Structure 1
Amino acid sequence: MIQTDRGAENDGEWCESCAVQTSHDVSIELRAESEKDKNAKFSREPYRITRCQMCGETTSQRMNNV
């Protein structure tokens, strides 16, 4: 995984389960959105995956919808 400068690491992100700002592990994942095998390799979209370090809840958000 690529390491980046975390800058404001103490700020965290909002966690719905914890109902507070917590530290999260964040990654980007390419997901195939087409159900058809023939088109799957052309329908990959980036998703932002976050996992709360306190409770473990994982969420994903399609980056093209940000």
Structure 2
Amino acid sequence: MATTDNSFDGLTEHCTDCDTDTLHQVSVQIRTESLKEENAEFSREPYRVAECQRCGSRSSQRMNNA
């Protein structure tokens, strides 16, 4: 679970690579999932992307599972 306690410049989350709670830079990216150009505008989905500020490991999670 992400928290902002004791962190003034990011979110503290558990990093599976570091195996500890570290600061993470978190953003939302819109990604196109379709490889077909004619349907690309209809296949955009939001993803939550978190990057560990200690080791650089990145994880992403699709936010809309419709």
Whether these two folds match at TM > 0.5 is yes
**Contact persistence 2:31–2:47 (CA under 8 A):** yes
RMSD: 1.8
Give matches, 1:44-59, under 5 Å: 44-59=44-59
Number of aligned positions between the proteins: 60
Unaligned runs of 5+ residues in structure 2 are none
- Larger strand proportion, structure 1 or 2? 2
**Contact persistence 2:48–2:62 (CA under 8 A):** yes
Q: What is the aligned partner in structure 1 of residue 20 from structure 2?
A: 20
Give matches, 1:1-66, under 5 Å: 7-8=4-5, 10=7, 12-65=12-65
Shift of 1:55: 0.2
Identity %: 50
What TM-score comes out, normalization by structure 2 length? Answer: 0.81
Q: 1:37 to 1:9 in 2, by over 3 A?
A: farther
Flag as ranges the 4+ runs of structure 1 deviating above 2 A: 6-11
Unaligned runs of 5+ residues in structure 1 are 1-5
Shift of 1:8: 2.7
Moved more, 8-17 or 31-40: 8-17
